[in-house]
Every structure is written in C-alpha cells, then in structure tokens.
Amino acid sequence: MSLIQWKRSCDPFQQLTDLNDRLMGLTLFPNLDKSLAPFRGGWPALDVSEDKSNVIIKADLPGLKQEEIEVAIEDDVLTIRGERKAEVKKEEENYFRSERLYGAFERNLQLGVGVEKDKVKASYKNGVLEVTLPKSEKVKPKQIKVDVN
C-alpha cells in the first residue's frame, strides 16, 4: 500500500517557493520559508489526543515562563494565549537569519466533547504545556452487559 500526501488547500506561495528552491537553491520569500511550515497552521504547535477519560492537549512553548501562559475554557472552547518577548539584539552581532517567532499568540480549540471544567489540570515542564481535560460522565463510553437467554 502506498501513502498519498493529502493537502487541504492549495498554497501558491509555497508552490512558488518550492519551485524556486529546486531551480536555484534560494529562498524567494523568506517569510514563507518551508522550514517555517509547521507554524503556518498556528503557533504554538499542538498535539491533541484522548483516552476513555480525558482529552490531552500538549503545546510547545519553549522559552516562556509559566506566568506568561494563560489557559482558559469558555463555552467548550479551550484558549491558550501568551506572549514571547523579542530578545534585544546586540548591534555588533550580524544576523543572517532569524526564524524564531516572537509576539503575542492565541490558539482556540473547539473541544467537541463535554468536559468537567472544574477538574481541568495544566502543567508546564521543559517548554511543553500539558492540559488534561476530564470528560464529563455523560460522554464517557459505557459498557452494556448483554445477557444470554
């Protein structure tokens, strides 16, 4: 079985950049560089998973302090927001490329399942924010015993 890459939408700037890279080995649009492709879908990058009892969201937030991160839930929408301050660049240093993102960010996720908002837990370790959202009892799968007659 072979896998086929699936694209949701056509990105003409990325296609032009890819073509230029193949032909000349140069980046025509540095702000649309393919090395930044993961950030086009939104920053910070997220992993969303679930098990029987929880929805787990992990967000990469390297370089931020715990107090610079805000997590909120309103109307079944989880919001992660914060701001990464730009470092002061020294005048004598020569920068050839600067790809690290700075500034305010906000990611909103429609949860799609009922969660117990008062039991949500968030932890931040080694630049990764992990939010655990316990599912409400009414959305957890239930086993029904089948009697044999």
Domain ranges of the chain: 10-41, 42-87+101-138
Top pLDDT among 40 and 22 is at: 22
d(CA 100, CA 60): 13
Q: For the residues 22-36, what does the mean pLDDT come to?
A: 50
Buried b (16+ CB within 10 A) or exposed e, 8-21: eeeeeebeebeeee
The pLDDT, as a whole number, for residue 70 is: 94
The reported pLDDT for the residue numbered 23 is: 63
Residues 140 and 113: beta-carbon distance below 8 Å: no
pLDDT class of 40 with cuts at 50, 70, 90: very low
CATH architecture observed for domain 42-87+101-138:
Sandwich (2.60)
Quick check: helix, strand or coil at residue 114? coil
pLDDT classification of 20: cutoffs 50, 70, 90: low
Prediction pTM value: 0.62
pLDDT tens for residues 43-102?
A: 788 899 988 889 999 999 988 899 999 999 988 889 999 988 877 766 667 766 667 777
Q: How far apart are the first and last CA of the chain?
A: 45
**Tens digits of per-residue pLDDT, 120-143?**
999 999 999 999 999 888 766 677
